Amino acid sequence: MDREKENILNNLKRSGPGFTVPKTYFEKLEDRIDQSRDSIDANLQEYEENTERKLKQKSVFTLDQIGKNHGFIVPDSYFEAVEPKILRLEKPKIIPLKNNFIRILSLSIAASILLFFGIKYMNTGQNTKNQLVFQDEEFINWIESDLTDLNSYEIAEVFNDMELEQSLYAEDDVFEYLNSVDIENLILEN
Amino acid sequence: MLDEEVLIGQLKDPSTRDASYRTLVSTHKERLYWHIRKMVLNHEDTDDVLQNTFIKVFKHIDGFKGDSKLYSWMYRIATNESINFLNKKANQMHVDMQTLQEKRIENLKADTYFDGNDIQLKLQRAIVSLPHKQQLVFNMRYFDELKYDEISDILDTSVGALKASYHHARKKIEAFLVNQ
């Protein structure tokens, strides 16, 4: 039985797999591959030409084509003129101010903010038993005593023990602010 | 060119300060101007930022420790001044930095001091479409032709990261130029 199976397999092996190809298939195959390759190359070339044409139509440029000219220009003789202007800045005209003035100014600003919020919150809502209630007479006395016109020094005196955080107003910002306003008006206003 | 260490010494010495300031301004004004101009875009604002940059340089030169090169330190000041300026403008206009830059690019069309053509304008649009640091890296490498180690010194970023950043910036700009 085993020998019979072996003979069948040997016969099959000898007769081959049974697949065939057309005559001269392998001779013509190379020509057909070459033709296909030429056709692919032609299509690719056509695609590249079309793309290039489309890019040109869209005015598309690569960085290398644009180059390094950014298009910015300066007024004539600008660099000659700017040099003395910069050198004049070397000694900026900063009005010398005593530290006390800056401190008082900072305190005045802080006091004004506190006063603003104080007034705002005192004016909201209905009076309750816990809130202060002023009599007319007290108001008249207050106004007659000229207490309505507190100046920044008096406000600063009230908040004498208050320390401002250094980061609240950077020194540069204070100088920039002082340079941008009229000092005389600032003093008069405060 | 005057040796940098000598110049720094002269800047810190009151007897030679004035002359060395002139040398400093004369040597660096143009490079700093163009660095600022490419960020700020218009001439008048660049002029203001340039002057503020030199004020900061004058003010802080005594504190300059020489950890980096003098011009890197000045470039860094100019960069910070430009960014601060743009941030202030954006805050004033209640817009973000990207919108502000796009508006400033559109203003270039009518700017007397911009004579670029449509392609150069498009390149500027492509640059402002990048994240801010990539803009800086691209401008410094492409237009200013600074070396990576010089940019590294200015932006305090590793050379490897800068190379990657420049590569990405270039790719994005090329894609912008083709697609937009």
Q: Read off the CATH number of the domain in which B50 is found.
A: 1.10.1740.10
Chain B contacts of A63, Cβ < 8 Å? 123, 142, 170, 173-174, 177
Please state the length of chain A: 190
Q: Which residues pair with A72 in a beta bridge?
A: B114
Residue A135: CB atoms within 10 Å: 8
Number of domains in chain B: 2
How far apart CA A178 and CA B44 sit, in angstroms, is: 24
Mean pLDDT of A163-190: 63
The one-letter amino acid code at A147 reads: L
Residues B121 and B106 in one domain: no
Residues B77 and B104 in one domain: yes
A61 → closest Cβ in B114, B119, B142: B119
Q: Is B43 in a helix, a strand, or coil?
A: helix
Return the top range by mean pLDDT from A7-11, A85-89, A149-153, B44-48: B44-48
Residues B24 and B90 in one domain: yes
Residues B96 and B169 in one domain: no
> Quick check: ipTM above 0.85?
no
Q: Does B173 touch chain A (CB under 8 A)?
A: yes
The predicted pLDDT at position B44 comes to 95
Contacts of A156 (CB under 8 A, 6+ apart): A104, A107, A108, A111
Residues B110 and B144 in one domain: no
C-beta atoms of A72 and B142 within 8 A: no
B114 → closest Cβ in A71, A78, A85: A71
C-beta atoms of B124 and A71 within 8 A: yes
How far apart CA B38 and CA B139 sit, in angstroms, is: 7
- Three-class SS of chain A: CHHHHHHHHHHHHHHCCCCCCCCCHHHHHHHHHHHHHHHHHHHHHHHHHHHHHHHHHCCCCCHHHHCCCCCECCCCCHHHHHHHHHHHHCCCCCCCCCHHHHHHHHHHHHHHHHHHHHHHHHCCCCCCCCCCCCCHHHHHHHHHCCCCCCCHHHHHHHCCCCCCCHHHCCHHHHHHHHHHCCHHHHHHHC
Domain that holds residue B145: 116-180
Q: Residue B178 sits in a domain of what CATH number?
A: 1.10.10.10
Q: Does A59 touch chain B (CB under 8 A)?
A: yes
Q: Is B1 in a helix, a strand, or coil?
A: coil
How far apart CA A162 and CA A169 sit, in angstroms, is: 15
Residues B139 and B61 in one domain: no
Nearest to B41 by CA among B125, B137, B134, B167: B125
Q: Return the percentage of chain A with pLDDT > 70, whole number.
A: 48
The predicted pLDDT at position B50 comes to 96
> A130-155, pLDDT tens digit by residue?
555 556 666 666 666 655 555 555 55
The predicted pLDDT at position B3 comes to 81
Chain A contacts of B175, Cβ < 8 Å? none
pLDDT (tens place) for every residue of chain B, 180 residues total = 558 888 888 888 888 988 999 999 999 999 999 999 999 999 999 999 999 999 999 999 988 888 888 999 999 999 999 999 999 999 999 999 989 999 999 999 889 999 888 888 999 999 999 999 999 999 999 999 999 999 999 999 999 999 999 999 999 998 898 877
Would you say residue A94 has pLDDT above 50? no
Please tell me whether the overall predicted TM-score, pTM, comes out greater than 0.80 for this model. no
Residues B59 and B84 in one domain: yes
CB contact residues (below 8 A), chain A span 63-102, against chain B: 63, 66, 68-75, 78-79, 82-83, 85-87, 89-90, 92
Q: Domain end: B81, B114, B147, which one?
A: B114
Residue B89: CB atoms within 10 Å: 17
Mean pLDDT of A114-119: 73
The predicted pLDDT at position A56 comes to 62
The one-letter amino acid code at B112 reads: T
Give the residue extent of every domain in chain A: 19-60, 99-189
Residues B125 and B139 in one domain: yes
**Interface contacts (A, B; CB < 8 Å):** 85
Q: Does B113 touch chain A (CB under 8 A)?
A: yes
Residues B79 and B30 in one domain: yes
Chain B contacts of A60, Cβ < 8 Å? 177-178
The predicted pLDDT at position A93 comes to 45
Nearest to A87 by CA among B76, B43, B75, B18: B18
Chain B contacts of A87, Cβ < 8 Å? 21-22, 25
Question: ∠ CA(A110), CA(A120), CA(A125), 5° rounding?
Answer: 150
Residues B10 and B66 in one domain: yes
The predicted pLDDT at position B154 comes to 92
Chain B contacts of A179, Cβ < 8 Å? none
Residue A96: pLDDT band by 50, 70, 90 thresholds?
A: very low
Nearest to B70 by CA among B154, B155, B133: B154
pLDDT: which is higher, A90 or A150: A90
Residue A62: pLDDT band by 50, 70, 90 thresholds?
A: confident
Nearest to A122 by CA among A136, A158, A114: A114
Residues B94 and B153 in one domain: no
Would you say residue A161 has pLDDT above 70? no
> A15-29, pLDDT tens digit by residue?
776 777 788 888 888
Residues B121 and B42 in one domain: no
Tokens found for residue B12: 């810190």
Q: Which of A29-33, A55-59, A60-64, B78-82 has the lowest mean pLDDT?
A: A55-59
